[in-house]
Amino acid sequence: MKHSKILVIGACGQVGTELVDNLADRFGPERVIASDIRDQADFSVDYIKLDVLDRAAVKQVVIDNNISEVYHLAALLSATAEKNPEFGWKLNMDGLFSILDLAKEGLLKKIFWPSSIAVFGPTTPRFDTPQYTIIEPTTVYGISKFAGERWCQYYHDRYGVDVRSIRYPGLIGWKSLPGGGTTDYAVEIFHEALKNNSYNCFLSADTALPMMYMSDAIKATIDIMQAPSDTIKIRSSYNISAMSFNPAEIAHEIKKHISDFEIQYEPDFRQAIANNWPASINDQEARDHWNWKHEFDLRRMVVDMIENLKG
């Protein structure tokens, strides 16, 4: 019998590039297909150009390739969506419906779709933010993620769709650059520190945000998809957490390795976005339900980032 395949949509992004390699290592490259809006991309697995808003094309790819699982990562992140709210809403919502509806039709067995800490807003408790709390997002990205969470829960409850989701914090990795997020400074800072010994940060020194090293985020993503269905008790999206730090704290940690590193602060429009997000997250439900556990804290993450970026 031919094995069904896994499709990653939005594979060229920060999470996708690492997720594809991990899925290929775990399940075999012949079982993974990467897709994105670009004409071409360099993956160790088959690549298909695909616009998630083209429903007919997505359906054809799913049928032609015997796809049973989709990781749907294509989205405009917080900073980019603020610059183009209409398209941010369209891509983030219509893209999700395109995949949820294929599962509703019975063409997909399982879906992963990421939500974000951006669902939280100024009325949410800022520290140790619980799974269940006040949720009043203020960005287009946050509103789309919160609406998406409710639709995931609805499609699960009403149509039995096996959709699984986590609220990503800021993600830090060395294999690819992020694009369009408010937490991107925590990746840029390493590149600039190694190239110029200096970084001009677009958030203020004391802006603490929840963060996670990419290897932990990939582990959480694959773990939640591999967990037995009855352990996934939340079908909107799970809080997950690893560390929390502000720009001054990460700069201090980097200085231990690059002693002449200097940081300056020049907050821009992204400061207002970060001000409304939690500083730290409580993820007890994810830990209890499907055994989520992080490995990297700030110190270990900085060592690993610098080692790998130095090459």
Which residue numbers are catalytic? 141
Residue 210 near residue 280, CB atoms below 8 Å: yes
111-140 residues near ligand AKB, rule: CB under 6 A: 116-118
CB of 10 to ligand AKB, least distance (A): 13
Residues 6 or more apart from 77 whose CB is under 8 A from it?
A: 141, 178, 179, 180, 181, 182
CB of 161 to ligand AKB, least distance (A): 23
CB of 62 to ligand AKB, least distance (A): 26
Exposure letters 165-186 (e unless 16+ CB within 10 A, then b): bbbbbbbbbbeeebebbbbbbb
Under rule CB under 6 A, residue 77 binds ligand AKB:
yes
61 or 166: CB nearest ligand AKB:
166
5-64 residues near ligand AKB, rule: CB under 6 A: none
257-276 residues near ligand AKB, rule: CB under 6 A: none
67 or 217: CB nearest ligand AKB:
217
124 or 182: CB nearest ligand AKB:
182
Q: What angle do CA 307, 212, 108 make, to 5 degrees?
A: 115
Under rule CB under 6 A, residue 173 binds ligand AKB:
no
Q: Rounded CA gap, 143 and 93, in Å?
A: 10
* Bridge partners for 172 per DSSP: 213
Under rule CB under 6 A, residue 183 binds ligand AKB:
yes
14 or 98: CB nearest ligand AKB:
14
Q: Rounded CA gap, 172 and 1, in Å?
A: 39
What Rg do the C-alpha atoms of the chain give, in angstroms?
Answer: 19
Q: Rounded CA gap, 16 and 3, in Å?
A: 22
Under rule CB under 6 A, residue 185 binds ligand AKB:
no
Which residue in the set 71, 113, 168, 213 belongs to the binding site for ligand AKB (CB under 6 A)?
168
Binding site for ligand AKB (CB under 6 A): 77-78, 116-118, 141, 168, 170, 181-183
